[in-house]
Structure 1
Amino acid sequence: MSDITPSLNRFHGGKVFDTARKLNVPPEEIVDFSASINPLGPPPGLKEYLFERFERVVHYPEIGAGSLARAFEDRWGLAEGSVLVGNGSTSFIYLLPAALGPGPQRIAAPAFGEYENAGLLAGCPIEYVTPDTGPPWSYSASTLLETIRPGARTVWIANPANPTGQLIPKDLLLEMARRVEGSDRFIILDEAFIEFASEHSLVVEAPRFRNLMVLRSLTKMYALPGLRLGWMVAHPDRIRELGPRLEPWAVNVLAHEAGFYCLGQDAYVRETNALIERERKALLEEFETMDSVTAYPSAANYLLVRIERPDWDAPRLADTLALRKLLIRDCSSFRNVGGRFFRMAVRTRDQNRLLMDALKELL
C-alpha cells in the first residue's frame, strides 16, 4: 500500500471533438478506439423515440427520476427503493466519498482515474493496492480480501477492470461484501462494463448488503455517453440516505426517456455481445501474429496492448494515429501501467481493420 496523494488526474479517452477541431475535419470522420463504446451505436429506433418526446424538454425533469428507478428495480427483480438514478455513474463516484464520510479511499489500481479524483476532492487520503501479477495486472483472492481490512473507509473495485478487462470472481466479491457488513467500511463496485460479462454482476445481490454499492452505466453498452445516464444499486436504507444528496434534477428529460427505451433492448444487447465476442477473438488472433505488440485477453469490449518495440511508446503512437483520425487510449496515466501500454475498443470488422493496418505499418 502507498499513502501517496497525487494531483488531480483528468486524462480520458473519447476526445473526438478536440481531435476533429485540431485536424479541421468533421467529428464523424474520427474513428474512436479510445472510448470503449458500443460500435453499433445507440439502439435502433431510439432517435425517433426521443424526437417524438422532444417537446417534453419544456418541463422540468422528474425530481429523483423515481419512475425510472422503479423500472430498473422491476427489470432486475430488486427490492423497492434499492435503485438511485443519476447523471451518469460518475455522478455517484463523486457523491459517495463525500456522503460516506471522511477516511482513506483504497483503490485497486490500475483503475478509472475519477475514483482518485473524487476522493481527493472530498479530502480523503488515497491508498493504492498493488496487483499480484502484471501485466495484465490481476489480484489474488488474498490480496483483495486484504483490501477490506480496517483502516480504509471505502474500497473501490471495478469489474471488469479498466483498462485491463480482467474479471474478479463473483463469489469472491460476495465474500468481501459479507466481511464488511456491519463495519465502518464500504465497497463501491463499478460495473460500467459488466453488460459484456453480465453473469458476473452483483446487481441482484447488492440490496442485501448495507455496506456495498454497485454502480451501473448506460454509456458503454447503449452508446450514450453524450446523454449521461447511470444508476446505483444498494440497500434501501442506504438509498434513502444518499438520494437527498443528489441534485434535484440530476437526470434530464431525454436521458430519462432513453432509460426506459433501453430497458427493452434485449435483442440489441445480444447482437452487441455476439459482435464483441467475435471481433475480440479475431483481434487477439491477429495480434498473436505480430512481434511488435502483445495483446491481453479481456472480458470487456476493449483490449489492453503492450508495445514491444523500444523505439515507440504509447503517447507517441496515440499522437501519430490521431493524425490519421484514429484514436487509442494511451494508458500512461493509469497507475501501475506505464508508457508502453494502450487500450483499444473492440469495434466493427471494417473499423478494426483500419487500426490494425495502421499498427502494422507503424510498428
Structure 2
Amino acid sequence: MWPNHGGKSGAIRKLVEKNGRKLEEMLDFSANLNPLGTPVEVIEQMKKAIENESMLYPDPDYEVETEIVAHVEGVNKNNVILTNGGAEAIFLVTKLFQSGKAGILQPSFSEYERACKAHHIEIASIVLSENRTWKDYKSLIKNLHVLIICQPNNPTGTIMDETEMLSLLKWTKQNHVMVMMDEAFIHFVDINSHVRLLSEFSNLIVIKSLTKIFAVPGVRAGYIVADKEIIRQLKSFTIPWNVNCAALGLFRALPKTEGHIKKTQLWLKNEWAWLRSELEGLGFILSHTAVNFYLLKDPFLEDHEPLILFLAQKGIVARHTYHFHSLEGRCVRLAVRTRLENECLVQHLKKWRQER
C-alpha cells in the first residue's frame, strides 16, 4: 500500500481519491523540497540551455560544467563526475563494490539498499540510537568493502558530530573500508562539506544532489566528488550523455546561487524554531533535525497509520516510515513548508489531539 518515496505517488493518489479528494489539492509534506523555490538564476540558465541546446548533443565529458562544480567545491576537475541526480550517483558508486559487502547506517534512505541489491552486494544494517554508535559495530564494519552514510541523515534530519565523523573516517581508512557519504541535504544547514577532507581521506566518496535545495526534482542533477582514480573508474561504466541540457544549465548557474542557499538556511532556522515550539507544545516527540524535514511521533501511538489517514482526510500528505529500518511506521516524516502551510498542519494536529 505504501510508496517507497515521498511525493504525490500513485499509491497516495488512490488513498486520497478514495476519500473524495483530488491529489492536486493536497498539501504535500512528504517531499523534502525547498519551499523558497527555484532561484531566478537557475531558471534563466535552464531556459537558455533548453532553447539553445536541446537540438544538440551535449559535450560527453561536460568539461565546462565539471570545471564549474570543481571550482565551487574547491577541488580539481579530475575529482568530479556529473550524474543524472543523486539516484544515479548512488547506483554508480555502489557498482564499484559489486558482489562485495556494504554497511548502511540506519535508519536511512531506502535507495542505498536498493542499489546494493541491484549490484548483488551483501548488506549489513548498522542501526544507530542514543545508546549505540558506530563504535559498537567495529567488528562488523571492519569486514565491509564500503560503509554508507547519509549526512545530514534522511529521514531523521540529524547530523553526526564532527569529532565523531572524523574518528569514523580515520578508523575506516586504517582498516581499508571505503565510505560513501551522501550530502543531498547539506545545503540546508550551515556546515562544511566533507569534500574538504578528500586530500586526507582517499577512502571517502561524497555524493551531492541539487534536487532538494533548488526544488527541481524533475531536473536530474547531481555529482560525485572523490579521488581521481575512483572518478576514472566511475567514468568507465557511466552511460553516455547521462546529463541533459537543462541540468547542465543548472550546473552553470551554481556560482550565482550562494545567496539563495544562505537565504534558505536563515529561513529554515527561524521557521523550524517556531514550528518546533508549536509541535512540542502539542505533546509530539520530534527528531533533532538540522534540515528541512523531521520525524514526528505521537507518544500515544505505536503504528502511525491512523495519523497518516487523518491528515490525508484533512488534505495533508505525510511520509510514512514503514520502509525505514528501526522505525517501521512508529512515526511520520514531515517537511518544513511555508508558514501558511505549517500553520495549517499545526491546526489539524490540534484537531487530532482534541478528537482522541
Matched, 1:317 2:313: no
Please report how far the alpha carbon of residue 102 of structure 1 lies from its aligned counterpart in structure 2 after TM superposition: 2.3
Give the partner amino acid of 1:110. P
Give the partner amino acid of 1:305. L
Deviates more, 1:63-72 or 1:156-165: 63-72
Alignment of 1:125-274 (within 5 A): 125-133=122-130, 140=133, 142-143=135-136, 146=138, 149-181=141-173, 184-274=176-266
Give the partner amino acid of 1:62. D
Please report how far the alpha carbon of residue 45 of structure 1 lies from its aligned counterpart in structure 2 after TM superposition: 4.4
Please report how far the alpha carbon of residue 221 of structure 1 lies from its aligned counterpart in structure 2 after TM superposition: 1.0
> Is contact 1:84–1:231 with CA below 8 Å preserved after alignment?
yes
Matched, 1:29 2:39: no
Instruction: State the SS of the aligned residue for 2:35.
Output: coil
> Is contact 2:107–2:155 with CA below 8 Å preserved after alignment?
yes
Please report how far the alpha carbon of residue 262 of structure 1 lies from its aligned counterpart in structure 2 after TM superposition: 3.3
Instruction: State the SS of the aligned residue for 1:127.
Output: strand
> Is contact 1:214–1:232 with CA below 8 Å preserved after alignment?
yes
How far apart, in 2, do the equivalents of 1:18 and 1:132 lie? Answer: 31
Matched, 1:109 2:109: no
Please report how far the alpha carbon of residue 273 of structure 1 lies from its aligned counterpart in structure 2 after TM superposition: 0.8
Give the partner amino acid of 1:235. D
Give the partner amino acid of 1:37. L
- Over 3 Å counting, the alpha-carbon distance change for 1:67 and 1:12 in structure 2 is same
TM-score by length of 1: 0.88
- Over 3 Å counting, the alpha-carbon distance change for 1:355 and 1:76 in structure 2 is same
Instruction: State the SS of the aligned residue for 1:270.
Output: helix
Q: Deviations over 1:155-188 (max 9, x none)?
A: 1111111111111123332333333337552110
1:63 is matched with which residue? 60
TM-score by length of 2: 0.90
> Is contact 1:64–1:85 with CA below 8 Å preserved after alignment?
no
Percent identity of the aligned residues?
28
Q: Deviations over 1:27-84 (max 9, x none)?
A: 6533211111100111124334433332311112231433212111111221231111
- Over 3 Å counting, the alpha-carbon distance change for 1:141 and 1:16 in structure 2 is closer
Match for 1:92 among 78, 86, 89?
A: 89
- Over 3 Å counting, the alpha-carbon distance change for 1:269 and 1:147 in structure 2 is farther
Can you give the 5+ residue segments of structure 1 that lack an aligned partner in the other structure?
1-8
Instruction: State the SS of the aligned residue for 2:218.
Output: coil
1:5 is matched with which residue? none
2:349 is matched with which residue? 359
Instruction: State the SS of the aligned residue for 2:224.
Output: strand
Deviates more, 1:329-338 or 1:170-179: 170-179
1:300 is matched with which residue? 291
Give the partner amino acid of 1:31. L
How far apart, in 1, do the equivalents of 2:333 and 2:44 lie? Answer: 33
- Over 3 Å counting, the alpha-carbon distance change for 1:143 and 1:10 in structure 2 is farther
> Is contact 2:126–2:134 with CA below 8 Å preserved after alignment?
no
| TM-align CA RMSD | 2.4
How far apart, in 2, do the equivalents of 1:172 and 1:229 lie? Answer: 30
Please report how far the alpha carbon of residue 86 of structure 1 lies from its aligned counterpart in structure 2 after TM superposition: 0.2
